[in-house]
Chain A
Amino acid sequence: DIVMTQSPDSLAVSLGERATISCKSSQSVLYSSNNKNYLGWYQQKPGQPPKLLIYWASTRESGVPDRFSGSGSGTDFTLTISSLQAEDVAIYYCQQYFTTPYTFGQGTRLEI
């Protein structure tokens, strides 16, 4: 299985400041034939299902604010929230969909 490891486990950031979450995979999730990283980022608020924010490691899902951005390739990835808003308080997960079993990071709790 590909192990996904996020850091930190929790993070407190002031309103308007930048938040950065790291995700590392135990194997590369870059598919060489299409040069795509099979890596997604999800936001989960209490009592709600996860919501896809970023796919292919850096493509923002429709309707997601542009303060959210993803970067990285291979085994090292980052989710950045450029200017934290109150509604961004949530748990964030990375996930690889490169190969089954699809696996998630343990989650990062983001607080203000």
Chain B
Amino acid sequence: QVQLQESGPGLVKPSGTLSLTCAVSGGSISSNNWWSWVRQPPGRGLEWIGEIFHSGSTNYNPSLKSRVTTSVDKSKNQFSLKLSSVTAADTAVYYCVRLNYGFDVWGQGTTVTVSS
């Protein structure tokens, strides 16, 4: 059974870059699935950030596209997110997710706070 685990700094300074990694276990990142990032600001709803396929193909939310980069490391069976020029509005729980028939596998989420 596929499991996902996010990791990365919990605190990022304003104007800095948020960097997170999602480790995939119990399955291969090279399977026929897209791998997404979703975030949830405190007390608010869910926002899709972007997705990546093992080939390196990507799709991003236009609202964040100018600041988002995703990548895949097949040797480590993981994928990553970088979000640049962060502000307090980027404070959220960040989830990595597998798209299968819907978002069927979610990581536990990692809280990222943007503050000086």
Which A residues fall within an 8 A CB radius of B?
1, 40, 42, 49-52, 55-56, 59, 61, 93, 95, 97, 100-107
Instruction: Judge whether A40 and B108 touch: CB under 8 Å.
Output: no
B contact residues vs A (CB 8 Å cutoff): 36, 45-48, 51, 59-63, 95, 99, 101-104, 106-109
Contact A55 B101 (CB under 8 A): yes
* A104 surroundings in chain B (CB, below 8 A): 45-48
Picked from A1, A95, A106, the residue with its CB within 8 Å of the CB of B102 is A95
Residues from chain A with Cβ under 8 Å of B46 in the complex: 50, 93, 95, 104, 107
* Smallest Cβ-Cβ distance to A102: which chain B residue: B48
A42 engages B59 (CB within 8 Å): no
**Are A56 and B101 in touch, CB under 8 angstroms?**
yes
| Contacts A/B (CB < 8 Å), 21 sampled | A40-B101, A40-B102, A50-B46, A50-B95, A50-B103, A50-B106, A52-B104, A55-B104, A59-B101, A95-B103, A97-B102, A100-B48, A100-B51, A100-B61, A101-B62, A102-B36, A102-B48, A104-B47, A104-B48, A106-B45, A107-B46
